[in-house]
Every structure is written in structure tokens, then in C-alpha cells.
Structure 1
Amino acid sequence: MSAYRPEEDFLPPPVSLTVTPSAPEAGKAVTLTATLTNTASIPLRGTVLYLAVEDTGTPDSLGTLTPGRSVARTWRTRLADDAEGRIVFTAHALFDVHRHGSDCARATSSVLLPYRSLPGAFDNAGIASDDALTVANIDGSNSSLSAEALASVGLTPGATVTFDGVPFTWPDVRPGSKDNVVSSGQTVLLSGSGSRLSFLGTSTWGDGKGDGKVVYADGTEQAFSVAVPDWYGANSSAAVVLPYRHIISGRDDNPVSLFTFGVDLTAGKELRSLVLPKVSDGLQSGAAALHIFSMTIN
């Protein structure tokens, strides 16, 4: 029998994890299959394979796994009725490698469910108060909107404001909390009907350009594109201009702009969901990103 030689043997053996269906729905069941393969030259003793779903674990004892052997285990679990966004699953293997020591290996897999509302999709804190600049980062380089500057133009938490004849509800959150979504192709559930779906937001590091789509209750889809100007400066097409912003070194007295934009809808058709424009893969300093703070059907 081979002895344990950490400098040669360990690299931990790989674990893989698959989820089916790959695009599940809230309240529905998913099947998770984890596979552990012993690629080491020694047996793995007392092997236990755990599946973790939302911080709860389900163990399965595998005993001894000889070199070259693979073992798969399958679990079935039901997603919560109110599940939304990214759901992460983890397979974690624990095993003894010699009499006085153990090791582990793990794999993760995730699914992305539709968000139940736009606030549910918020993933960025873009607003900070003037006396606590570091709690928000709208552009990946520690800049932010000022809560006090927003209040000076009526954009206080939970306020209803009207731009271009369209009412919007400003996020009802404290400075430093997640208050906008970086538009990256997320799906948001919708209901109702109207003539236009309107957004209130801005872009950082350049114009926010990308394609999205509206899905109606009858299954038909409507593609649309956006091109939202960069926030820096007093843009003549802005819905509202703020007198200053925060940067990493303090207050910057150059103005910044917020914009309205949207897509015309088929009147009378019931809405099912929205796929936000794919502008970026999240927030990164130097890369254009579109931030959406509010939307309304009008």
C-alpha cells in the first residue's frame, strides 16, 4: 500500500457538481449530482460527501475510495417559492489521508433565477452621504453619488419623482446600501401592461450600450437597445443634474447626470418578464457600466 507523500500525492482529488435543469424555476425541484474521483495514489478513507444548499448540508458516507475509483451521488431538492437571483450549490468531500490527518475538496455550481422585482436585483451601492464617502462605489474606483446632492433635487429615499411626465420611485434605502442594479442581462419578473417601460439610471466609464428584451405573457419577445450617456458633467439630455459627486479623495464639484430611457411596448399586452440590457459583466474600473435605480410601466 502506498504511503502518504504530500509533496507528490496532494493535489486534492477533483469533485464535480451538475444541476438539472440548468434553468429551474422558484418552487420547483432540481437534481444535483456530485462526483468524486480519487486521482491520488493512496486510498481515501472515511470519505464523506456533503451537499450544501443555502447553508444546509446533507452528508453521504462513502467509506474508502481506492485510487482511480469514482463515486457519484445524486440529491433532489426543492427551491424555495420566493427564491430569486443566483443560487449556489456546493459539493464538499472530506476524507482521511493518513492516521492523523485529513483533507478535503469541493466544487460549486450555481443557477440564476429571475428576480421578483427590480430592487431584488440590486447589486451595487452607488450612494454615500457626505460624511461617509467610502460606503459606496458606483464605478469600481470608489466614486459615488451624494445623498445630500440627490436630496437637493428631490431624490430622497422612497420619494416619487416625475421626469418627462413619467413617475419613478427612488430606491428606499439608506446610503451605503444596495440601491441600483448593474445591467448585465439579469431577468426581472414583470406584471401589468402599458405603452412604455421606462428606466431611471446612469452610466459610468462611458456610454452604457447594450441589448435587452421584454417577454410578454403570451410568450412573444420584443428586443430593444439602449445607449445611456456617461454620468460625468451636466448633459443637456439629462433628466436631472446633480451639483457634485464623491470621489476617493473627497467632494468633486463637477456635476453629474441621471437619465431616463426605455422601450415602447405593445399596448394592451400583459408583461411577463424583462431581460435587462447586457452592457457589462458587472462592475469594473475603466469599463462602461449601466446603473438602473428605478423603472416604471406607463
Structure 2
Amino acid sequence: MISYRPEQDFLSPPVSLTVTPSALEAGKAVTLTATLTNTAAIALRGTVLYLAVDDSAQQDGLGDLAPGRSVTRTWRTRLADDAEGRIVFTAHALFDVHPHGSDCTRATSTALLPYRSLPAAFDNAGISSDDARTVANIDGSNSSLSAEALASAGLTPGATVTYEGVPFTWPDTRPGSKDNVISYGQTVLLSGSGSRLSFLGTSTWGEGKGDGKVVYADGTEQAFSVAVPDWYGANSSAAVVLPYRHTSSGRDDNPVSLFTFGVDLAAGKELRSVVLPKVSDGIQEGVAALHIFALTITPIN
């Protein structure tokens, strides 16, 4: 049998991973199936395979794996009752390649479960204080909203503000904490009914355009589109205009704007969830992104 030579490059053998069912739910069973194939010219000694769901894992000793041999292992487990958001599944194999060295190979898969609330989905820190401007980054170039400028407009942590007759609860967060959702198609659970689902937010690096949908309790869906203006400048359609912002070089005394937008709802229908508009995959300098700070269901008058 060919032996490992330290001066040679060692290409890790592949491990595949499948996760079923394709539509996952919190509190429900999930099955991970991994196949490790030794495509190397040497045996993999003392091989151990780990199958993991986030921080929960199962360990399986596979022993020695000869060249050309494949081994498949399956783990059936259950997602936590409160599971939400991005769930990471991993197949990770460890093995010895010679008496004094080891190697590994890995495969991952991710799923995005519904979030139980908008604050649970917050994934970006967009607000910093005037004396600590670098703790937030709303646009990928280290710019941010000023907590003090927001407070001057009544937008203090946890405050209720009303724009065009619609009340919103501003995020109850400290500067530098995650306080908004970068809208990329996440599902947020809802309950109740009303005449309109409204959002409070803004866009960076241009107009935030994308399609989302409302899902009702009876299973029907309602598509909608948004086109939210860029935050820079005093926009005449803005819900609130702030006198300045923070940038990587300091205070910028050009105004910035926040906006309200939303979708009219079907009369008399109970809500189940909203799929946020798919605008971007995150923040990146020069790429438009939509930031949502609050949402509210306007009751039927």
C-alpha cells in the first residue's frame, strides 16, 4: 500500500451531505446523511465522522478507510422547538494520514427557518453614537446613523413613533448592537389581521428594489414589490429626515432619510408570515441594500 510522503500535497477526500426533508420546521425531525469516499492513494487511519446541527453533534468512529472505499452514515435528530433563522448542518471527518499527522474534510449545508419576530432577524448594526462612531456599519463602508440625531427626532430605543397615522416601535437596542434587518428574502412570522403591513426603513447605495410576499393563515399568498429610496439627502417622501450621519472619516453634515413603505392586506384574512423583499445578499460597498428597522400591522378601522 502506498504511504503518505510529507513532501507531497495531500488532497482531502470528499464528503457529501444531504439534509431531509427540504422544508424544515422548528421542533420537527431532520435527517442528515453523509458519505465519505477515500479518493486518496493511502488509507485513512482512525477515521471519525461528526454530523452536526449547529452546536449539537453525533460522533461515529469509522476505523480505517482503504483507498476507493466509501462509508455512509445517517443521523436522525430533531430541531429545537425555538429554532429560527439560519441553521447550519455539517459533516466533518477527521483521520490520520501518518503516525504523526492528521487531516480532515468537511461539507456544510444551510437552511433558513422563519424568524419568530423582526428583532430576532436583526443582522446589522446601523446605529452608532457621536462619541463611538465606528461601532456600526450600515452600508459596507463604515457609515451609520447617529443615535443622537435619531433621538432628536423621537427615535429613542423602544420608543413608539407614528408616521402617516401608522405607529412603529423603534428597535430597543444600544448603539453598535444589531438593530435592523438587511432584507434578502427572510421569512418573519406574523399574527393578526389588518388593512396594511407597513415597514420603517431605508436603503443604502441606491434604491432598494425587490419582491416579497405575504402569507395568510389559509395558505394563500400575496406578492408585493418595494422601491425604497437611498438614505442620502433630505428626500421629500421621507418619514423622517436626520440632520447628519456618521462616516469612516467622522461626522457628515449632509442629511439622511428614513421611509415608510408596505403592502395593503386582504380584508378579513389572518396573517401567518411575511417573506421580506429580496434586495441583496448583505451589505457591500456599491451594492444597494434595504434595511428594515420596524414593521407594524395597521388594524382595520
Aligned residue number for residue 149 of structure 2: 149
Q: What SS is found at the alignment partner of 2:148?
A: helix
Asked if the contact 1:35/1:72 (under 8 Å) is kept, the reply is: yes
Structure 2 distance, partners of 1:283, 1:40, is: 40
Deviation at 1:9, TM superposition (A): 5.6
Q: What SS is found at the alignment partner of 2:134?
A: helix
Aligned residue number for residue 118 of structure 1: 118
Instruction: Give the TM-score normalised by the residue count of structure 2.
Output: 0.97
Aligned residue number for residue 160 of structure 1: 160
Q: How many pairs align? A: 298
Aligned residue number for residue 244 of structure 1: 244
Structure 1 distance, partners of 2:6, 2:58, is: 29
CA deviations 1:36-62 (Å, max 9, x no partner) are 110110011111101122223311011
Structure 2 distance, partners of 1:47, 1:9, is: 20
- Provide structure 1 residue ranges, at least 5 long, that are not aligned to the other structure: none
Asked if the contact 1:9/1:40 (under 8 Å) is kept, the reply is: no
The answer on 1:71 being equivalent to 2:71 is yes
Q: What SS is found at the alignment partner of 1:119?
A: helix
Structure 2 distance, partners of 1:55, 1:62, is: 21
Identity of aligned residues (%): 87
Instruction: Give the TM-score normalised by the residue count of structure 1.
Output: 0.98
Q: What SS is found at the alignment partner of 2:138?
A: coil
Asked if the contact 1:201/1:292 (under 8 Å) is kept, the reply is: yes
Aligned residue number for residue 223 of structure 2: 223
Structure 2 distance, partners of 1:266, 1:57, is: 44
Aligned residue number for residue 193 of structure 1: 193
Asked if the contact 1:203/1:288 (under 8 Å) is kept, the reply is: yes
Structure 2 distance, partners of 1:23, 1:170, is: 32
Q: What SS is found at the alignment partner of 1:157?
A: coil
Structure 2 distance, partners of 1:140, 1:286, is: 8
Give the residue type in structure 1 aligned to 2:140.
G
Aligned residue number for residue 49 of structure 1: 49
Aligned residue number for residue 270 of structure 1: 270
CA deviations 1:148-173 (Å, max 9, x no partner) are 00000000000000000000000000
The answer on 1:2 being equivalent to 2:8 is no
Asked if the contact 1:115/1:187 (under 8 Å) is kept, the reply is: yes
- Provide structure 2 residue ranges, at least 5 long, that are not aligned to the other structure: none
Asked if the contact 1:180/1:291 (under 8 Å) is kept, the reply is: yes
Deviating more after overlay: 228-237 vs 14-23: 14-23
Asked if the contact 1:124/1:137 (under 8 Å) is kept, the reply is: yes
Aligned residue number for residue 280 of structure 1: 280
Aligned residue number for residue 15 of structure 2: 15
